[in-house]
Amino acid sequence: MPIVAHRTPSRLSYPIWIGSRLFLKPLLTLWPLNRPGMAGLFLIDRMFAVGKKPHGVVREQAELGDRPAEVVVPTGPSRRDADTAILYLHGGAFVVGGLGTHRSIAARLSRACELPVFSLVYRQLPAAGVGASVADAMAAYRELLTERGYRRVIVAGDSAGGFLAAKVVEGAAAQSLPAPAAVIGFSPLLDLELGDNPDRSSRCDAYIPRSAMIRLAPHFFGGPVAFTGVRRIGDLDLHDFPPTLLFTAENELLEPDAVALVEGLDEVGVTAQVHSYSWQIHAFPVFDFRHRETLEAIEASAEFTGRVIREAKNADDRENKRAG
């Protein structure tokens, strides 16, 4: 089934959801989204950057597509596939987040999938609009394929990063690059204009206020790089998508678009699935929680990744036999 519902939340889910609703949602509702207000949000990533360091991985600062990046590789014996890497695109509504806030999810994916994870620092508001964010994601993807020698790149992201991951699918098709081996999205943003959609509501969302998305939207399409292509991911040619795995919180603001995308992909024969978890917050696998739902999402992502790699290798073997 393309939609998998998880309706028995762990006990830790309740205080996380209630705490987010009581404290985080009002803060995001009231936060000024003018230029000074947006610029000040970089301090959040700085605070996370000095927090505890993830275990079981080696981190290295790098440059990818002319942007800063961090490469996370699992330590110890590994059966990892040297031909595959994960490009991780962080969320944060194109205005907040970075290596520090998303170091935990990058490390968890690297350990579980036994793959290198390249976490990218793409340009964000207020310095640059979403067109620049997309261009940076595409440049990083292109470099992994054409200069760093990876045959397969899995593109993953949460929230705004999920939008960028889908735009990589669009960009790869437009530029005649190999499609991503797979897409993984944690509460992906799939419509830049969802704030204007009368059918979308954040009433049941633990912390994302629709009002903030409405105030942010006019800033998305500024320079220095013009935004091109679709604003709603569902408008893409869905045949271009690789196998896709999404996770959402039940009734969060972004869930209807994720469900619609997966249903559309399933209709055209693309392997796709969305896991919907009750009593969870937006992009819950990204947070450094050790509750059941987060661990399940990471495990499911690793199983999905392993299956994608095995199927790609089998396809390569069949092609080599035909060529021989």
In the structure encoding, which two tokens stand for residue 72, read together? 């996370």
The H-or-E segment that residue 146 falls in is helix 130-146
Burial class (CB in 10 A: 0-12, 13-18, 19+), 180: buried
Place of tokens 């992201």: 157
Confidence of residue 79 (pLDDT cuts 50, 70, 90): low
> Which domains does the chain carry?
3-323 (3.40.50.1820)
The long-range contacts involving 53-62, CB below 8 angstroms and separated by at least 24 positions, are: 53/103, 54/103, 54/104, 54/106, 54/107, 54/108, 55/107, 56/107, 56/111, 57/107, 57/110, 57/111, 59/103, 59/107, 62/118
Q: Is the peptide bond before 224 cis (omega within 30 degrees of 0)?
A: yes
Place of tokens 């002319």: 66
C-alpha span between 115 and 112 (Å, rounded): 8
* Percent residues over pLDDT 70 in the chain: 97
Compute the C-alpha angle 190/191/197, nearest 5°.
135
Tell me the pLDDT tens digit for each residue of 173-230: 999 999 999 999 999 999 999 878 888 899 999 999 999 999 999 999 998 999 999 9
- Whose CA is closest to 41, among 104, 120, 88, 94? 94
Averaged pLDDT, 52-71: 92
In the structure encoding, which two tokens stand for residue 162, read together? 């999920």
Place of tokens 């800063």: 68
Alpha-carbon dihedral sign for residues 207, 212, 213, 219: negative
Tell me the pLDDT tens digit for each residue of 112-131: 999 999 999 999 999 999 99
Tell me the pLDDT tens digit for each residue of 269-322: 999 999 999 999 999 999 988 899 999 999 999 999 999 999 999 888 787 778
